[in-house]
Amino acid sequence: EKIKNLLKREPTITELGGFDVMWSEHCSYKSSRPKLKLFEDAEANYDYVLAGPGEDAGVIDIGDGYVLAFRIESHNHPSAIEPYHGAATGIGGIIRDVLCMGARPIALLDPLRFGRLAGNSHSQWLFKYVVKGIADYGNCTGIPTIGGEVEFDDSFEHNCLVNVACIGLGTIDDFKHAPSRAYNPGDYIILMGGSTGRDGIHGVTFASRTLTEMSEADRPAVQIGDPFTKKMIIEATLEAVKTGFVRGLKDLGGGGLTCATSELTGDGNTGAK
């Protein structure tokens, strides 16, 4: 009914899919938004903070014309049912976020939580392949994992925590060429990346639900990583930013084109078709 009232008509199947994506916890942050608002004045209160809440990654001025970009996020649900690709694509996601600030990703971190290992084959399986997924993706893209920490406790038996972080280094000039907003009517939005497959469909709605014994059936919702393509995208993006022709960047995450284009145009007070 809410959607019908907003549109003032019956929604199409495609529109319902779009609302399903954008209103998911994964994309809308319904639960965490009140806490995130505590930091919304960071850019105004600190001169060295160039990008704060609402951006793809945080950016601070470290002097001499350089900036440091950083991002941390969790990939818990995907890793709980498909630990290798779930963890690997978590790395892929934060690399994109840092890259979209015009910075080169240079380092990864991974604080992890699992159930106890002793006599627990499930936790052993998760631990082994989460670590392997993170390491392999980083190795293939040439970005080292410089640190991490892990704890084991029974409370994480059915819902492991896979937190991954990325740090990037860039210049202030490149950062200024990479806003995550589409301000200029008439500009073209260019999509680049790996080939679209059937993996990852309904990924954000799956990631927003509570894990149950039936969650194993959601395995196809976990995207398959493609780090070799990501490495080429990193180099191509940084080269394109240097030309000065790029007006903005936005990563294509779990919400797909629906999320990326609406965030680009919504923040820029424009539209796209």
Cα 220 to the center of its chain, rounded Å: 19
**Of the candidates 32, 36, 62, the residue with the CA atom closest to the CA atom of residue 50:** 62
| Block residue for tokens 């630990």 | 83
Tell me which long-range contacts 230-236 makes (C-beta under 8 A, separation of at least 24). 230/92, 230/95, 230/96, 230/137, 230/140, 230/141, 230/194, 231/140, 231/141, 231/142, 233/99, 233/192, 233/193, 234/95, 234/99, 234/104, 234/105, 234/141, 236/192
The structure tokens 């398959």 sit at 224
Token code pair at residue 220? 């196809």
Give the span between the Cα atoms of 51 and 68, in whole angstroms. 10
Three-class HEC string of 24-35: CHHHHCCCCHHH
Token pair, residue 9, equals 């008509």
Catalytic choice (75, 77, 85, 177): 75
Catalytic residue list contains 26: yes
How long is the chain? 273
- Residue 229 tokens read as 């393509």
- At 139, give phi and psi (nearest 5°): -65, -45
β strands within 115-233, DSSP E: 145-152, 161-171
Q: What is the CA 272 to chain-centroid distance, rounded? A: 22
Is 202 catalytic? The answer is no
> Among all residues, which ones are annotated catalytic?
26, 75
